[in-house]
Structure 1
Amino acid sequence: MASHHLPHHESHGNHPMSVIGYVLVLGGFASAALWLVSMAGGHVAAAILFGLLMIGAFAVAASIFLSLNHRHHHSPVLPDNTEPELDRYMRRYRE
């Protein structure tokens, strides 16, 4: 029977919801750009739609980041869920 060894994968320590928050922030900036262009072009309905999408995306992203920070005590930016991971991260990327 052959044994298969999977390559060791080190966890990056980021919570999966922080990725969703990041994507929502990117979507919020894209909606902000489209809101500005629609407003300047005189397209009122599109401007209202993109403005609401922008506010919604930023509000949901902020609530995700605040929830991760306060409820779960996990930074949405730094992978600091354990001391060894934080030390490893700081040695690898900050020095």
Structure 2
Amino acid sequence: MAPHLPHHESHGNHPMSVIGFLLVLGGFAMAALWLVSMAGGNVIPAIIFGLLMVTAFTGAVSIFLSLTHRHHHSPILPDSTENELGRYMHRYRE
């Protein structure tokens, strides 16, 4: 007989919120490289890293806004159903 395992619920995060989070992290990395390139006088890499930074942040913002407005899904809180949100808030926020 199999041991009793606790019921696992979906975490409720939309898969695109993970992509948005990775874009934010990449945007900060590109911002650091842009700043270092600017300080070192490397113009071409600074322009490239600056454009990558703006692209990453713009992509993340558009994903988060799309999830919020079009899909009515929070990009941060798992809110698939009221019951899951209640259990999540009880378990992790209280």
Confirm or deny a common fold (TM above 0.5).
Answer: yes
Name the SS of the counterpart of 1:74 in structure 2: coil
Task: State the alpha-carbon separation in 2 of the partners of residues 81 and 69 from structure 1.
Answer: 13
- Equivalent residue for 1:17? 16
Task: State the alpha-carbon separation in 2 of the partners of residues 88 and 45 from structure 1.
Answer: 51
Gaps (5+ residues) in structure 1? none
Task: State the alpha-carbon separation in 1 of the partners of residues 64 and 84 from structure 2.
Answer: 20
Q: CA deviation at 1:10?
A: 1.6
- Equivalent residue for 1:91? 90
TM-score by length of 1: 0.91
Q: What does the per-residue CA deviation read over 1:30-73, in whole Å, with 9 as the maximum and x for residues that have no partner?
A: 00000000000000000000000000000000000000000000
Gaps (5+ residues) in structure 2? none
Task: State the alpha-carbon separation in 2 of the partners of residues 81 and 42 from structure 1.
Answer: 49
Identical amino acids, percent of aligned pairs: 78
Q: Aligned pair 1:31/2:16, yes or no?
A: no
Name the SS of the counterpart of 1:78 in structure 2: coil
| Mapping 1:1-95, distance limit 5 Å | 8-95=7-94
Name the SS of the counterpart of 2:9 in structure 1: coil
Q: What is the CA RMSD across the aligned residues, in angstroms?
A: 1.5
TM-score by length of 2: 0.92
